[in-house]
Amino acid sequence: MNQAQLPPEQPDSGEQRSVTEMERRQFLKLGLAVTGIFAGGTLLSAASVVDEVFASRQDFADRYPYKPHYSMVIRQDNCIDCERCMAACARTNEVPEYGYRTRVLEQVDPEARERKTEFIPILCNQCNNPACTRACPTGATYKDKQNGIVMVDSDKCIGCKTCMSACPYNARYYNEEKKSVDKCNFCFDTRLSEGKTLTACAAACPAGVRVFGDLSDPDSEVYKRVHDIEKAVWVLRPETGVKPNVFYTKG
């Protein structure tokens, strides 16, 4: 990463201003060494998420110039598995009982010291380099050029289910009523396009797990959290190279 391309620090972070970029980098490396790999390799260091998602910040903005660049940060340890997100999603987006657009998975580590169970909400990662849209024969699923959301044009879906096989996150299902594959679109048609600022799941979450916003806006909470290199931020299945826009963190 080119240091010259790092954005100026926020004026309100008075304390942090005394820390030079070089020191930050050193701290980051230290953190990598300390945290290492936890929980079966699902936790990656902040360094790798920066590399995975931001080749360099300018490169990234050039390559994925979405405005707004919708994105979600999941504060994993806050999730209590109440599943209100799932209910709100199903209600808002007419998701049938046999399907889901978002789900909460349970991770148990019997050897952990105190808390042994964590919950991991999953949804479409709205990847910057989606495996599904490449595989779709008719362009029925595509990445919106403006906001980067992976959309489905139901009329064009032939139901070959290649996108379902291609998705590394199991984010897709075949909707019999729509006669089309269906998936999370960050509530674009049901909420965002009507002026609402949050997805149904983010609005319904009582624990503030799902932080939704615009990754291209340095003032947004998602931007701040993803760029907070003093905290571990990671993505799921980075090895597939799909460059997801759903990030995970703790705290």
Partner 1 sequence: MSDNVSSEAVEAQFPEVELTGAMDAIRSKLYLIAVIAMGLLVAAGVAAGLHAKSIGSLEAYGATREMPWGILISTYVFFVVTSTGLCLVSSIGHVFGVKDFAPIAKRSVFLAVATIVAGFFVIFFEIENPFRMAVYNVISPNLTSNIWWMGTLYGAYMMFMAVEFYLLVSGRYKFAMVAGFLGVVAGVAAHSNLGAVFGMLDGREFWYGPFMPIYFIASAMMSGAAAIILFTWLGYKVSGEEMDEPMKRALKLTTKVGILLITVILFFTIWKFIIGFAGSEAKVRALESLLTGPYAFNFWVLEIAVGMIVPLVLFIKSRGEQVGTMALASAMMIFGIFFMRYDLVVVGQVVPVQYELNVTEYSGLLSYTPSAHEILVVLGGIGLAGLIFLLGEKAFGGHKSEAH
Contact 79, 119 (CB under 8 A): yes
Residue number, 182 or 214, with CB nearest to partner 1: 182
For the bound state, the minimum distance from the C-beta of residue 89 to partner 1, rounded and expressed in Å, comes to 16
**141-143 and 150-152: which strand pairing?**
antiparallel
Q: State which of residues 87, 160, 198, 203 lies at the interface with partner 1 (CB under 8 A).
A: 160
Closer residue to partner 1 (CB): 101 or 191: 101
Burial class (CB in 10 A: 0-12, 13-18, 19+), 229: middle
> 210 with 121: CB under 8 angstroms?
yes
Residue selected from 10, 20, 158, 189 as contacting partner 1 according to rule CB under 8 A: 158
For residue 4, what are its two tokens? Answer: 């010259």
Using CB under 8 A as the criterion, what x/- string covers residues 166-185 for binding partner 1?
xxxxx-xxx-x--xx-----
Judged by CB under 8 A, which of 77, 107, 144, 227 binds partner 1? 107
25, 57, 161, 250: residue in contact with partner 1 (rule CB under 8 A): 161
> What character string, x for contact with partner 1 (CB under 8 A) and - otherwise, covers 6-45?
---------------------------------xxxx---
Please name the residues in contact with 158: beta carbons below 8 A apart, sequence gap of 6 or more.
137, 138, 140
H-helix segments, the chain: 14-17, 21-35, 46-53, 57-63, 84-93, 131-135, 162-166, 200-204, 221-226
Q: Is position 164 an interface residue for partner 1 (rule: CB under 8 A)?
A: yes
- Supply 120's token pair: 């991991």
Please check whether residue 235 is in contact with residue 53, taking contact to mean a CB–CB distance below 8 angstroms.
yes
**Which string of x and - marks every residue 117-156 that binds partner 1 (by CB under 8 A)?**
---x-x--------x-xxxxxxxx--------------xx
How far is 201 from 208, CA to CA, in rounded Å?
10
Q: Which of 159, 208, 218, 251 lies at the binding interface for partner 1 (CB under 8 A)?
A: 159
Closer to partner 1 by CB, 27 or 142: give it: 142
| Rounded least distance, CB 9 to partner 1, Å | 34
Q: How far is the CB of 28 from partner 1 (least distance, A)?
A: 24
What pairs with residue 248 in β-bridges? 74, 234
Q: Token pair of 31, please?
A: 């953190």
Contact residues for partner 1 (CB under 8 A)?
A: 39-42, 98-99, 105-109, 120, 122, 131, 133-140, 155-162, 164-170, 172-174, 176, 179-180, 236-237, 239-242
